[in-house]
């Protein structure tokens, strides 16, 4: 997996594609995928429950990749995801991600920590 491609394309596709969010999710993630985000464990269903409403509320998403590292079945990245919402609010999150790939190259596990870097009004 090219982690740069994942970081930029996945958020765009899962949010704005006409394709079912589950189909997009499955293209990039192994069936037993699990994420630990800021100490909260999320599986496929919990992540899709978060994504589906965002498809209606987000009007733009941008990803700035600051750095990535990959070796064998491990990937790591530091990036900022910025979402412009239909309400006019902008949400920016800096993300530190550490991932493990499955044998077929999809993400199997992600551990990440985040911090809000949204512009203050």
Q: Is residue 70 assigned to a domain? A: yes
Cα–Cα distance between 69 and 100 in angstroms, integer?
12
Q: What is the number of domains present in the chain?
A: 1
pLDDT for position 74? 98
What pTM did the predictor assign?
0.92
Assess if residue 60 is contained within a domain.
yes
Which strands sit side by side in the sheet containing 90-101, from one edge to the other? 40-43, 29-37, 107-116, 90-101, 74-85, 58-71
Over pLDDT 90: what percentage of the chain? 91
Task: Let me know if residue 13 belongs to a domain.
Answer: yes
Question: Is the per-residue pLDDT at 72 higher than 80?
Answer: yes
Identify the CATH number of the domain in which residue 104 sits: 3.10.450.50
| Exposed/middle/buried for residue 94 (C-beta within 10 Å: 0-12, 13-18, 19+) | middle
Whether 121 is covered by a domain: the verdict is no
Owning domain of residue 18: 3-116
Distance between CA atoms of 7 and 56, rounded to whole angstroms?
Answer: 21
pLDDT band at 121 (very low <50, low <70, confident <90, very high): low
- Mean pLDDT of all residues in 59-88: 97
**pLDDT of 12 strictly over 90:** yes
Determine, yes or no, domain membership for 11.
yes
- Average of per-residue pLDDT across 35-60: 93
- pLDDT for the residue numbered 120: 83
When pLDDT is averaged across residues 109-117 and rounded to a whole number, the result is: 98
Q: What is the mean pLDDT of the chain?
A: 95
In this predicted structure, what is the pLDDT of residue 93? 98
**Which pLDDT band holds residue 1 (cuts at 50, 70, 90)?**
confident
């Amino acid at each position: 997996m090219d982690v740069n491609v994942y970081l930029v394309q996945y958020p765009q596709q899962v949010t704005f594609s006409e394709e079912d969010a589950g189909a997009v999710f499955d293209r990039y993630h192994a069936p037993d995928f699990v994420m630990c985000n800021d100490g909260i464990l999320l599986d496929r269903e919990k992540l899709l429950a978060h994504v589906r409403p965002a498809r209606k509320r987000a009007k733009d998403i941008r990803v700035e990749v600051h750095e990535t590292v990959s070796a064998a079945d491990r990937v790591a990245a530091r990036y900022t995801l910025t979402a412009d919402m239909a309400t006019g609010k902008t949400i920016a999150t800096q993300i530190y991600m550490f991932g493990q790939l499955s044998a077929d190259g999809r993400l199997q596990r992600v551990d990440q920590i985040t911090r809000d870097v949204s512009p203050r009004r």
